[in-house]
Amino acid sequence: MRILRIIVLAFTLLLALSGVNPVLAQDQQPQPAPQDLFLFTRYPVQEATIGDPVTIRLTLGSDTTPQIVRLAVRDLPEGWNASFRGDGKTVQAAYVAPKSDASLDLRIEPPENASAGDYRLTVVARGSAREVTLPIELILKAKEKSSAGLSFKVDLPMLRGTPDTTFRYNVTLKNESDQETPVSLLAEAPRGFLVDFRLSGQSITSVPFGPNESKSLSIEVKPFPDMPAGKYEITVLAQGGESQATTRLVAELTGQPKVGLTTPDGRLSGEARIGEKTAFTLIVQNTGSAPARNIQLSAVPPAGWTVEFEPKQIPELDSNQRVEVTANVQPSNQAIAGDYVVTFVARPDEGTSESTEFRVTVLASTLWGLVGVALIAVAVVGVGMAVMRFGRR
């Protein structure tokens, strides 16, 4: 019995020792030391296409010390741009608190003329006590040429005209993919322009395209009449599915004279006498955006009337300038008293002519008035003499 007890006791002791050893081993495993600053990304090596921006997600943190960490990029190739963004804003530093990581994005923009290859750069985070770095590797590849897409071809992308001109651009749009594609047409034009897409004379905003199909379109651009002279750009976009094409059109507006006819007080009426010349003052003005040259003055009067201008021609009239001219109007000797209409016309070398209707009220001639007075006087004298002669009898 004593031997049995000794065996049981030894076995129990052995079991106890075997249960304690793993716990002791676990308690004695080394724990990682707290870090006062760390920086990492899950994807330190990335591929990108030449000309396309790259965004790399960064995590910044600290186990022990709250601090402001400043950020920078070293070894950035010439011509490249790099910026840090947090919450949609460009930042240059981040605040980190213990056990609370800060996430931000590193945006890298290679230029269009960058060469394909491997590029290595370093992200630097400088805290209050130390500096940590993170190596980044970018593998740039050339853009792959795709057979799918849309393409524009414009016969004459730049046209010149006046504000009254409708600019028409002949465009060929091609679907270079092997699939049927509905294409939407959009235009971005400066304020004061109307843009219309036309196919076979019909106004459209979208058009279906078959595989590898081309269509000839007309793009009509109409400026407002009061648009000032200058060059204006219109951007045209064709979009079908994930494919799109753009082209740029230019409308160059040249100045245009605009001649007007009126009177100093704005009244378009006056009086004249039969057979007598009457002078009317007219105002010729240019309200356009270019000088009006060689303005010819003429009139369309009633039959038998004569109209003469002083001067007959205005050599040049600058924009927003006005001059006075005299229209000498003489009604016909056979005219009778009443209202007549005389049309005055101003016609420049360039631009549209302007006409104004002027109402003339014709009165009896003063000569006939004198003749009437004389006849009355003669009649009175005759009557008086007759009375004197026959009254004595």
286-317 confidence digits (pLDDT tens): 988 788 899 999 999 999 999 999 999 999 99
Pick the CATH number of 38-141 from 2.60.40.290, 3.40.50.261, 2.60.40.10, 3.20.20.70: 2.60.40.10
pLDDT digits (tens, 9 = 90+) for 141-182: 887 654 568 999 999 999 999 888 999 999 999 998 888 889
pLDDT at 13: 54
pLDDT at 25: 41
**Residue 361 structure tokens:** 């009220």
For the domain spanning 150-253, the CATH number is: 2.60.40.10
pLDDT at 19: 47
pLDDT at 375: 64
| Whole-Å CA distances, 38 to 11, 17, 24, 71, 310 | 51, 42, 31, 12, 92
Residue keyed to tokens 């992200």: 123
In angstroms, rounded to a whole number, what is the distance separating the alpha carbons of residues 272 and 331? Answer: 7
Where does CATH 2.60.40.10 sit in the chain? 38-141, 150-253, 259-367
Give residue 202's pLDDT band: very low, low, confident or very high (50, 70, 90).
very high
Give residue 27's pLDDT band: very low, low, confident or very high (50, 70, 90).
very low
**Residue 145 structure tokens:** 């040429």
CATH topology of domain 259-367: Immunoglobulin-like (2.60.40)
Residue keyed to tokens 């006005």: 322
Half-sphere exposure of 200 (CA within 13 A, CB side): 2
Q: In the predicted model, what is the mean pLDDT of the chain?
A: 85
Peptide linkage before 311 cis (omega within 30 of 0): yes
The mean-pLDDT minimum among 166-170, 210-214, 215-219, 370-374 falls in: 370-374
Give residue 21's pLDDT band: very low, low, confident or very high (50, 70, 90).
very low
52 Cβ neighbours under 8 A, 6+ residues apart: 110
Identify whether the C-beta of residue 108 lies closer than 8 Å to the C-beta of residue 52: no
In angstroms, rounded to a whole number, what is the distance separating the alpha carbons of residues 280 and 62? Answer: 94
